[in-house]
Chains A and B, each alone.
Chain A
Amino acid sequence: MQVFEFSKARDVAHAVQLGAQPGAHYLGGGTNLLDLMKGGVERPRSVIDISELPLALVEPLPDGGLRLGALVRNSDAANHPLVRSRYPLLSQAFLAGASPQLRNMATVGGNLLQRTRCGYFTDLSFERCNKRLPGSGCAARDGNNRMHAILGASEACVATNPSDMSVALLALDAVVQVRRRNGARSIPIGHFHRLPGTTPERDTQLQPGELIVSVDLPPPGFAQHCCYLKVRDRASYAFALVSAAVALSLASDEVREARIVLGGVAHKPWRALEAENSLRGTRLAPEDIQAAARLATHDARALSDNAFKIPLAQQVVARALATAAGVT
């Protein structure tokens, strides 16, 4: 671990002022950043502890939505009565992530910024990783890539985003509220995470020094019919092979609106728009569900070890749709 400067932010203004220095990192729960620092993957020049800022509230918004402060712990968010009753999909996704111990530490803002679990990225022994060392190559592309992307990958990077929460947030149209030294902006969750392209070193659209202060959820629309389904190698404390956040708005058994987002398959939560559209107006007959499941992986391309993810993703989408609709 490299030597770094450590400071505690007094308030949000102070935090973004400190965060404007080059090489600064904000520290929330530390469940990902500290591991990466110990491994030498992250080498911040300064670490700004924001854990005592007043950003740990869950508050109803005037429009009927809900604001999750950036420092709300994952466990608290998952178990909050308003999250459970209005956004059960999000609660399920939180609880599918990590382990109870990690969820007790990890924050909502930090969860958005989780870095990939690609072993070639997290272990400095590997010399080729474009995400860690731009231009060095991608060892995963012809290495062990069972966990890697089947959608949206590039020559430069086949890593996946490991978050469960973000998958549900995308299905729910969340908005990330961000502060910086001279202002604030709102980033729709669909624009927050990036595909790797030729610059896989950047996971998100967040600019250096910007601080996530909250995640805002629009008024609930899918609480009745939703399902977060995650398939992983062990029952808990494992990242998704494939997951799906599915949400349905039904009017007399007919689909008015559908949301289908896949996790564990791409560099960002993967919204399957074509599949969503195919369901509109249907009554979710088995053939409708199968067709949507196939569309969800329409553009998928397998690597050497992860071809199973394509049919698995279809199965996961189909099961999640059936579960959300209550037709299992």
Chain B
Amino acid sequence: MSDVIGEPLDRVDGRLKVCGKATFAAEHNLPRLCYASILYSRVPSGTIRAFDVRAAERAPGVLLILTPDNAPALPQGGRAGVNPPAGRVLSLLQDRQVYYHSQPIGVVIAESPEQAAVARSLVRVSYEAAGAQLDFVAAARASAYSPAESGLSHPHTARGDFPGAFANAEVRVEQTYSTPMEHHNPMEPHATVALWEADHLTVYDATQYVSGVQTTLSKVFGIAAQNIHVVSPYVGGGFGCKGSMWSHVALAAMAARKVARPVKVVLERTEMFGPVGGRPQTEQRVALGARRDGTLVALSHSVISHTSVFEDFTEPCTTPTRMLYACPNRQTEQKLVKLNVGTPTFQRAPGEATGTFALEVAMDELAVALDLDPVELRLRNYAEREPESERPWSSKSLRACYQDGMRRFGWAGRPPPRSLREGHEWIGWGMATATYPCNRRKAAASARYLKDGTALVQSGTQELGTGTYTVMTQVAAEALGLPPAAVTFQLGDSTLPAAPVSGGSCSVASVAPAVRAACEAARAELIARGTTLADSPLAGVPAADIDVADGWLVHRSQRGRRLRVATVVEQQAVAISGSAELERGAEKDQYAMHSFGAVFAEVRVDADLGRIRVPRIVASYGVGRLLNAKTGKSQLVGGIVMGVGMALLEESLLDRATGRFVNANLADYHVPVNADIGSIEVAVVPEEDRWVNSVGAKGIGEIGITGVAGALCNAVYHATGRRLRSLPLTPDKLLAAERT
């Protein structure tokens, strides 16, 4: 076996990308292409009385203006495709109801994008406005409700006797933590190009889920899935907002059919705030009861998050609370409030990013109350089995992560809070635990040796910029016995073997085993053919004695007996190929499968000016086997950077009067810039896991963001002695804390 897996192989698509030759969705320019601009509601709630499109229709270049007045009727009023995660409740011009500001209510199609935008500005819409709920806090007090159980999360769990144990606990901490609305803002906005050829629809889309878009469009339009082709070879970041199919995709297809030309729609940055999801606002009450020695005896986490008025989405913040620490008396609760905003959605580590913030800050508060080192507190409550199911872990290296992180950070000798100072700055150290489940879904792949000595491997997964092309090439190369340069991996196409959504950190865990199995099947076939070729030096050798490596079939003990892979393939009339479709088996009921990590952060706080800087973060993760040392660490570092943004900067500001976001652009919606980021050192502790999947790799897409906000918040406390409980940790909040 070669050792291609794990090597820091350069991105196989890197050259194409830096040369501008990787074709993203918006770059598919077809003959006779025209452009759509989506018209959005300007009120947060009500009914559309009338559209006046006369001026817009006369504007130069306009081809069509679609409104509920002339939009084609869809099956089930446009709701036939509802089936999360891919299929959400969409706005497809089937009625005149308005549920939120920036809801799609029409489409303007013109010869150029500029003409479409100008014409859109000329459409006049009159509304019968209705009352809107835009105040999260008021709604949380007045109308929080328990959502129906969904696949995501049970709204309530309880074990033991939390109220009794908490009431009798020797030490208690009970606090409320809050996190704001956020928006994903990948570099590439959503974009779709739709083309009809007779009854066949081709969609070039920026999506995390090609087969989800195919299925959803099939249901939305009531046409067979095989008549829909979804293509998405490169995606410029998703973070969850491209995991569902939003209205613009179906509207582009609807428009293309009406004008009988291909239609392109590219969302503007401002359009990324509202109609394509975001992270919901949360208010989280955490109560911890402990013995004097730090043993948790009671743990409760109650969450209210917002959703839209037309679809439930729960930010499952309590998920980590249910599995992170051993505690006999535990209860968790998730409630929702309805606001007149677009439905929120999965945003990088939905639940874990927000939930670990509340839980890990509460744990820090408990450590302070107990005068105990925060790592020691966590070790005293280390869960040796999964607390909810009491199943053994498939693997868990959290102790090693704490130790590795402490050592590399230099945690030992941490002084008391508000005691380290340099010039005007307080210096503080904080830590938090990171965790994310090991999800896996059904995935299929195929592999075929080609006559030129290379191989073609395919799976309909997606490349979000994370390195999917690269790591799948590595997995395939190792299994096929070819150098990586001889393997072409194809993805992002609904005609390929189906793969799951690139979400929930499940792509590697789902697709890599399928790729490996398909390649191993092809290799077995290759060996079988190689031993039966006329004049083969391997004739009659048992398959078990033959290795395939670096493009050769080789006798394992008599290395001189060998045969080129290409030589075997050339002589075949029938292709040498393999395919596989795999999903998790019985092991899923026997083991609890999670990734863990520990995040250590240093902050410098100028308390007079409210300024927080993050000179260094050290994090250690137990994530099984890393398939590519370079892309893997980049992804973990990227998660931490996003965590810094969540902790210090990101907040979508909802206008209380109109329901429009006030900072719907990247100058005013702050994500970290280079100057905000100091040293970030990540390490992966050695971890073997034979149960998560055949390659032993846990997903790493999301764990990087978890724990970061908690660690930073705890570091700010350690620096200043002031406890902030509301994200983001902006200067105004720090100044207010300093003045109390």
User: Smallest CB-CB separation from A235: which chain B residue?
Assistant: B675
Chain B residues bordering chain A, tally (CB within 8 A): 42
Cross-chain contact A233 with B730 (CB below 8 angstroms): yes
Cross-chain contact A233 with B731 (CB below 8 angstroms): yes
Contacts A117-B668, A123-B270, A143-B662 given; indicate if A312 touches B676 (C-beta within 8 A): no
The distance in angstroms between the C-alpha atoms of A159 and B663, with both chains bound, is 15
Q: Is B574 an interface residue (CB 8 A)?
A: no
Contacts A233-B649, A238-B670 given; indicate if A126 touches B658 (C-beta within 8 A): yes
Contacts A1-B118, A235-B673, A236-B675 given; indicate if A123 touches B731 (C-beta within 8 A): no
Q: Is A142 an interface residue (CB 8 A)?
A: yes
For window 94-148 of B, CB contacts with A under 8 Å fall at: 101-102, 114, 117-118, 121
Cross-chain contact A231 with B611 (CB below 8 angstroms): yes
Chain B residues, Cβ within 8 Å of A1: 114, 117-118
Cross-chain contact A235 with B653 (CB below 8 angstroms): no
Cross-chain contact B672 with A234 (CB below 8 angstroms): yes
Chain A residues, Cβ within 8 Å of B648: 233-234
Cross-chain contact B673 with A99 (CB below 8 angstroms): yes
Contact with A along B598-619 (1 / 0, CB 8 A): 0000000000111101000000
- Kindly provide the distance from the CB of A240 to the nearest chain B CB, expressed in whole angstroms: 11
The distance in angstroms between the C-alpha atoms of A274 and B675, with both chains bound, is 36
- Kindly provide the distance from the CB of A94 to the nearest chain B CB, expressed in whole angstroms: 16
Most chain B CB within a 10 A radius of its CB, from A123, A144, A235: A235
Q: Is A6 an interface residue (CB 8 A)?
A: no
For window 648-673 of B, CB contacts with A under 8 Å fall at: 648-649, 653, 655-658, 660, 662-665, 667-668, 670, 672-673
Cross-chain contact A308 with B731 (CB below 8 angstroms): yes
Cross-chain contact B608 with A126 (CB below 8 angstroms): no
Cross-chain contact A319 with B655 (CB below 8 angstroms): no
Cross-chain contact A139 with B118 (CB below 8 angstroms): no
Cross-chain contact B609 with A139 (CB below 8 angstroms): no
Chain A residues, Cβ within 8 Å of B672: 234
Q: Is B732 an interface residue (CB 8 A)?
A: yes
User: Smallest CB-CB separation from A231: which chain B residue?
Assistant: B609
The distance in angstroms between the C-alpha atoms of A122 and B664, with both chains bound, is 10
Q: Is B739 an interface residue (CB 8 A)?
A: yes
Chain B residues, Cβ within 8 Å of A72: none
Chain A residues, Cβ within 8 Å of B731: 231, 233, 241, 308, 312
Q: Which residue of B423, B608, B663 is within 8 Å of A119 (Cβ)? A: B663
- Kindly provide the distance from the CB of B702 to the nearest chain A CB, expressed in whole angstroms: 23
Contact with B along A58-100 (1 / 0, CB 8 A): 0000000000000000000000000000000000000000010
Q: Is B736 an interface residue (CB 8 A)?
A: yes
Q: Is B424 an interface residue (CB 8 A)?
A: yes
Q: Is A125 an interface residue (CB 8 A)?
A: yes
Q: Is the interface of A mostly helix, strand, loop or mixed?
A: loop
Q: Is B42 an interface residue (CB 8 A)?
A: yes
User: Smallest CB-CB separation from B101: which chain A residue?
Assistant: A125
Chain B residues, Cβ within 8 Å of A308: 610, 731-732, 735-736
Q: Is A316 an interface residue (CB 8 A)?
A: yes
Chain B residues, Cβ within 8 Å of A146: 653, 732
Q: Is A328 an interface residue (CB 8 A)?
A: yes
Chain A residues, Cβ within 8 Å of B610: 231, 308, 312
Q: Which residue of B608, B655, B656, B676 is within 8 Å of A235 (Cβ)? A: B676
Cross-chain contact A123 with B739 (CB below 8 angstroms): no
Most chain A CB within a 10 A radius of its CB, from B660, B663, B732: B732
- Kindly provide the distance from the CB of B644 to the nearest chain A CB, expressed in whole angstroms: 10
Cross-chain contact B653 with A144 (CB below 8 angstroms): yes
Chain B residues, Cβ within 8 Å of A270: none
The distance in angstroms between the C-alpha atoms of A2 and B120, with both chains bound, is 12
For window 357-390 of B, CB contacts with A under 8 Å fall at: none
The distance in angstroms between the C-alpha atoms of A1 and B101, with both chains bound, is 22
User: Smallest CB-CB separation from B666: which chain A residue?
Assistant: A237
Q: Which residue of B40, B609, B663, B675 is within 8 Å of A315 (Cβ)? A: B609
Chain A residues, Cβ within 8 Å of B670: 233-234, 238
For window 257-289 of A, CB contacts with B under 8 Å fall at: none
Chain B residues, Cβ within 8 Å of A312: 609-610, 731-732, 735
Q: Which residue of A3, A142, A144 is within 8 Å of B662 (Cβ)? A: A144
- Kindly provide the distance from the CB of B86 to the nearest chain A CB, expressed in whole angstroms: 29
For window 661-717 of B, CB contacts with A under 8 Å fall at: 662-665, 667-668, 670, 672-676
Cross-chain contact A237 with B673 (CB below 8 angstroms): yes
The distance in angstroms between the C-alpha atoms of A124 and B175, with both chains bound, is 40
The distance in angstroms between the C-alpha atoms of A312 and B732, with both chains bound, is 8
The distance in angstroms between the C-alpha atoms of A231 and B665, with both chains bound, is 21
Q: Is A40 an interface residue (CB 8 A)?
A: yes
Cross-chain contact B664 with A123 (CB below 8 angstroms): yes
Contacts A40-B121, A139-B655, A237-B673 given; indicate if A328 touches B424 (C-beta within 8 A): yes
Contacts A233-B731, A234-B676, A236-B673 given; indicate if A311 touches B739 (C-beta within 8 A): yes
User: Smallest CB-CB separation from A98: which chain B residue?
Assistant: B667
Q: Is A222 an interface residue (CB 8 A)?
A: no
Q: Is A120 an interface residue (CB 8 A)?
A: yes
Cross-chain contact A234 with B649 (CB below 8 angstroms): yes
Cross-chain contact B675 with A234 (CB below 8 angstroms): yes
Cross-chain contact B424 with A125 (CB below 8 angstroms): no
Most chain B CB within a 10 A radius of its CB, from A117, A139, A142, A233: A233
For window 619-666 of B, CB contacts with A under 8 Å fall at: 648-649, 653, 655-658, 660, 662-665
The distance in angstroms between the C-alpha atoms of A144 and B732, with both chains bound, is 14
User: Smallest CB-CB separation from B734: which chain A residue?
Assistant: A308
Would you give 30 A-B contacts (Cβ < 8 Å), ordered by A? A2-B118, A40-B121, A99-B673, A117-B668, A119-B653, A119-B664, A122-B665, A123-B664, A124-B121, A126-B655, A139-B655, A142-B657, A144-B653, A144-B656, A144-B662, A144-B663, A233-B670, A234-B670, A234-B676, A235-B613, A236-B674, A237-B667, A238-B670, A241-B732, A308-B731, A308-B735, A312-B609, A312-B731, A315-B609, A316-B609
6 nearest interchain CB pairs? Answer: A235-B675, A119-B662, A308-B732, A236-B675, A315-B608, A144-B662
17 more CB-based (< 8 A) A-B contacts, given A99-B673, A119-B662, A312-B609 = A3-B118, A117-B668, A119-B653, A125-B660, A126-B655, A139-B657, A143-B656, A144-B662, A231-B609, A233-B648, A233-B649, A234-B670, A234-B676, A237-B667, A241-B732, A318-B608, A319-B608
Hey, which bits of chain A sit against chain B, CB under 8 A?
Answer: 1-3, 40, 99, 117, 119-120, 122-127, 139, 142-144, 146, 231, 233-238, 241, 308, 311-312, 315-316, 318-319, 328
